[in-house]
Amino acid sequence: MRQEAFVVIMAGGTGTRFWPHSKEDHPKQFLDILGIGKSLLQMTVDRFEAILPAENIFISTNERYADLVQQQLPSLTKDQLLLEPDKRNTAPCIAYACYKIAAKNPEAPIIIAPSDHAIFNDAAFQAAIDTAFTATDDKKLITIGIQPTRPATGYGYINYQSSDNPIKTVISFTEKPDEAKAKELLESGDYVWNAGIFVWSGNAILNAFQKHLPAMAKLFGDMAPMYYTNEESDVIKKQYLLSENISIDYGILEKSEHVHVVLGEFDWSDLGSWASLHENSKKDSNQNAIRGEAITYDVKDSLIFGQERKMMVVEGLENYVIVDTPDSLLIYTKGKEKIVKQAIDQMKSTGRDQHL
pLDDT digits (tens, 9 = 90+) for 137-193: 999 999 999 999 888 888 899 999 999 999 999 999 988 888 889 899 988 888 999
Q: pTM of the prediction?
A: 0.94
25 pLDDT higher than 90:
yes
Architecture of domain 6-269: Alpha-Beta Complex (3.90)
317 pLDDT higher than 90:
yes
pLDDT class of 309 with cuts at 50, 70, 90: confident
Q: Which residues pair with 174 in a beta bridge?
A: 157
pLDDT class of 12 with cuts at 50, 70, 90: very high
Q: Which residues pair with 8 in a beta bridge?
A: 58, 112
32 pLDDT higher than 90:
yes
CA nearest neighbour of 82 among 109, 108, 110, 124: 110
Query: Is residue 91 within 8 Å of residue 215, measured between CB atoms?
Result: no
Query: Where in the chain are the domains?
Result: 6-269, 274-355
- Measured N-to-C along each axis, helices 202-212 and 90-104 cross at an angle, to the nearest 10 degrees, of 130
pLDDT of res. 187: 87
CA quadruple 113, 271, 248, 92: dihedral positive or negative?
Answer: negative
Say whether 131 sits in a helix, a strand or coil.
helix
pLDDT of res. 152: 85
Q: Burial level of 321, CB count in 10 A (0-12/13-18/19+)?
A: buried
Calculate the average pLDDT of the chain: 94
Contacts of 165 (CB under 8 A, 6+ apart): none
CA quadruple 87, 88, 89, 93: dihedral positive or negative?
Answer: negative
